[in-house]
């Protein structure tokens, strides 16, 4: 299996701190969590999507929340700050997890957000039951979907909710194309929408809401790509040309995959059958 660091998006992770420090320098103060959202919310639609999760899965004060594939912790910090919930932020890539921990400490949210550098398929939660489980653009990275869903079922409180935004496969692709997606998009579980839903139902979950986000995400990735191209020189200055080129390649890839209907986007909310 390819390493996630082979994705152009994550080849140079020091850019996140570079961008944060540059923003802080320009503002001449600590950015608010809303102001840093373009840097630390690594999914689509930023804090709007996190607010959707708060609303739809009833995240409230003192809830225990698991964030799978937490990146540099943007959603976890925003959740903690807005709801005063306790967030377990699990991230596979050590460099992202370390940056997340540093930023969480800077924002004095380390009593609410616990960064864990681990593989969700292997981590021992010691019988913790979560009120809410959230994930943005991460589950398609994770192989062994049956094992993953069994873990989520066991660690979710009987009255809890799971909120996920993820990719699904729209077109039939060749084995060679699968290998390319595995390397460049770290797609280790990319299946058609019907299969995706069946996996959830077969794992004893109720599908409460399922929204196709493909059109929305196509517009988002197009706008993101155009904006990055417009500000390319600035990104080179803050980081370097190799870093800027890597991001540009990935933003092109994401837009092409969505606009050519190779992949689609899904947002779903589930509860467990008891």
CA distance 195 to 142: 16
Where do the structural domains in the chain lie, given as residue ranges?
4-215+261-272
CB atoms within 10 A of CB 3: 11
Q: What is the pLDDT of residues 187-246, one digit of tens each?
A: 999 999 999 999 999 999 999 999 999 999 999 999 999 999 999 999 999 999 999 999
Q: What is the pLDDT of residues 143-181, one digit of tens each?
A: 999 999 999 999 999 999 999 999 999 999 988 888 889
Half-sphere CA count of 133, side-chain side, radius 13 A: 29
Residue 105: partners with Cβ closer than 8 Å, 6 or more residues away: none
pTM of the model as a whole: 0.96
Q: What is the pLDDT of residues 13-55, one digit of tens each?
A: 999 999 999 999 999 999 999 999 999 999 999 999 999 999 9
Q: What residue spans of 137-268 are helical by DSSP H?
A: 145-155, 175-184, 193-202, 214-230, 232-238, 241-259
Element (H, E) at 114: strand 113-117
Element (H, E) at 213: none
Strands ordered across the beta sheet of 263-272: 113-117, 86-91, 64-68, 130-136, 156-169, 263-272, 205-212
3-state secondary structure of 197: helix
CATH class of 4-215+261-272: alpha beta
CA distance 135 to 184: 20
């Amino acid at each position: 299996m390819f390493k996630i660091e082979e994705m152009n998006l994550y080849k140079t992770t020091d850019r996140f701190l570079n961008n944060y420090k540059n923003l802080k320098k320009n503002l001449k103060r600590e950015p608010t969590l809303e102001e840093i959202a373009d840097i630390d919310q690594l999914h689509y639609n930023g804090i709007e999507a996190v607010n959707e999760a708060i609303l739809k899965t009833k995240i409230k004060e003192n809830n225990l929340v698991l964030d799978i594939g937490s990146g540099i912790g943007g959603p976890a910090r925003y959740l903690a700050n807005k709801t005063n919930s306790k967030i377990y932020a699990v991230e596979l890539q050590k460099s992202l997890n370390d940056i997340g921990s540093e930023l969480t400490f800077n924002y004095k949210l380390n009593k609410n957000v616990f960064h864990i550098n681990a593989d969700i398929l292997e981590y021992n939660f010691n019988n913790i039951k979560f009120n809410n489980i959230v994930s943005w653009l991460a589950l398609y990275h994770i192989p062994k979907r049956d094992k993953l869903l069994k873990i989520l079922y066991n660690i979710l409180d009987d009255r809890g909710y799971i909120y996920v935004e993820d990719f699904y496969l729209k077109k039939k692709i060749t084995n060679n194309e699968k290998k390319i997606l595995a390397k460049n998009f770290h797609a280790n579980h990319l299946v058609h929408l019907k299969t995706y839903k069946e996996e959830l139902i077969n794992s004893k979950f109720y599908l409460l809401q399922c929204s196709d986000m493909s059109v929305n995400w196509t517009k988002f990735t197009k706008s993101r790509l155009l904006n990055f191209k417009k500000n390319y020189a600035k990104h080179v200055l803050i980081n370097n040309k190799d870093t800027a080129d890597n991001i540009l390649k990935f933003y092109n890839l994401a837009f092409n995959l969505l606009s050519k209907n190779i992949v689609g986007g899904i947002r779903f909310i589930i509860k467990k059958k008891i």
